[in-house]
Copies of this chain bind each other. A is one copy, B any other.
Amino acid sequence: MEFTLGQLAALLEGKVEGDDSQKVTRLDKIQEGKSGGISFLANEKYEPFLYETESTAVIVSEDFQPVKPFKTTLLRVKDAYLGFTKLLEAYAQLSKAMLVGVEEPSYMHQTSTIGENHYRGAFSYIGKNCQLGKNVKIHPQAFIGDNVKLGDNCIIHPGVKICADTQIGDNCEVFPGAVIGADGFGFAPQADGTYKAIPQIGNVILEDNVSIGSNTTIDCATLGSTIIRKGVKIDNQVQIAHNVIVGENTVIAAQTGISGSTEIGKNCVIAGKAGIVGHIKIADHTTIGANTGISKSIKKSGETHFGYMSMDMKDFLKSYALFKNLDKLEKRVKELEKKG
């Protein structure tokens, strides 16, 4: 995509101080700016780069006063950071909107329907009885099983697998390699030591505005639904087991695992690599630190938990500080024993 500085100034309600017919095709960091790119300067720490950058243009705030000569062209807006963010969003939206049409070969069963303005990439697969909304983008090699519902404006990235019976709301995005709705891990031990699979015939529901990271796996319910409520954002390589419910606007960072039938409250923040056992409830607004193991329900809203096994964060850090010097504590006890 190519824009003149004049076009960008119109978009951002700003003013070009120089030749507004210059073209840019890229957003750059100011310290790495190259010709053809546009950068921004919002933090004075980065001001020295303004006088050296090779970016074609730099977005600056109304009140910015240069103190040295420079080669780049200034695009002056009310607030440089907000202006750049607006540009970023416009760029991202344009990129998505431009993907329209069907690449061949692709597969969509005759019993399935898809709304207007859609994209279906080559080697994408859509099974039977699916209902896909408008502005839906199904990238190459994505898989949509039978009886899937997908709302408007959803983006299903390359190689995603959405298994049969999954229901997805509007404005959801699923990143490459994620698997939604495959069987949960349910096996009944038999008398002879073998295990027999318990059929997993439930589904997964993703409500509106859900984002699922690359190579994350969300299992279908044994019966009923595994539910990811609206506004939930899940990072890469997260594992969500069968019959879990994740509350509204909860955020889960990479490599976290949540075991079966656990209910996570709304507006929780779960850092990376956390592990949460099955069949418990986590209260709303809970914060769970990185690498933290949670083995019991958290009943009080708003707590911060941390550590190998579910402790209040401050308590854990206090204990860990002593753990680091446990040999010194042991020596003090030995000293006392000698005296005694």
At the interface, yes or no: A121 with Cβ under 8 Å from chain B? yes
A262 to B50, CA, bound (A): 25
Which of B29, B173, B237, B290 contacts A237 (CB under 8 A)? B237
At the interface, yes or no: A293 with Cβ under 8 Å from chain B? yes
Residue of B nearest to A238 (CB): B237
At the interface, yes or no: A10 with Cβ under 8 Å from chain B? no
Which of B105, B277, B291 contacts A275 (CB under 8 A)? B291
Once the chains bind, are B214 and A179 in contact (CB under 8 Å)? yes
Q: Min CB distance, A229 to chain B, in Å? A: 12
Once the chains bind, are B249 and A194 in contact (CB under 8 Å)? yes
Residue of B nearest to A142 (CB): B141
At the interface, yes or no: A118 with Cβ under 8 Å from chain B? no
Once the chains bind, are A340 and B336 in contact (CB under 8 Å)? yes
Residue of B nearest to A127 (CB): B140
Residue from A159, A329, A333 having most chain B Cβ neighbours under 10 A: A159
At the interface, yes or no: A49 with Cβ under 8 Å from chain B? no
Produce 1/0 per residue, A143-161, CB < 8 A to B. 1010000000000011101
Once the chains bind, are A195 and B290 in contact (CB under 8 Å)? no
Stretch at the interface among A15-23, A60-68, A72-80, A308-316: A308-316
Residue of B nearest to A177 (CB): B179
A257 to B319, CA, bound (A): 25
**With known contacts A182-B175, A195-B231, A209-B194, A103–B107 Cβ distance under 8 A:** yes
**With known contacts A235-B185, A254-B239, A320–B309 Cβ distance under 8 A:** yes
Once the chains bind, are A241 and B257 in contact (CB under 8 Å)? no
A159 to B179, CA, bound (A): 10
Residue of B nearest to A93 (CB): B199
Q: List 21 A-B contacts (CB under 8 A).
A: A27-B223, A28-B223, A85-B198, A88-B199, A88-B223, A89-B199, A92-B197, A105-B123, A122-B125, A141-B143, A159-B159, A175-B182, A177-B215, A185-B236, A193-B231, A214-B219, A239-B254, A257-B272, A329-B329, A332-B333, A339-B340
A residues near B, CB below 8 A?
27-29, 32, 85, 88-89, 91-92, 103, 105, 107, 121-123, 125, 139-141, 143, 145, 157-159, 161, 163, 173, 175-177, 179, 182-183, 185, 187, 193-195, 197-199, 201, 209, 211, 213-215, 217, 219, 223-224, 231, 233, 235-237, 239, 241, 248-249, 251, 253-255, 257, 259, 266-267, 272-273, 275, 277, 290-291, 293, 295, 307-309, 311, 315, 318-320, 322-327, 329-330, 332-333, 336-337, 339-340
14 further A-B contacts with Cβ under 8 Å, apart from A29-B224, A107-B122, are A28-B224, A29-B223, A103-B107, A123-B125, A141-B159, A143-B158, A175-B179, A177-B177, A185-B213, A185-B233, A185-B235, A215-B237, A275-B290, A323-B323
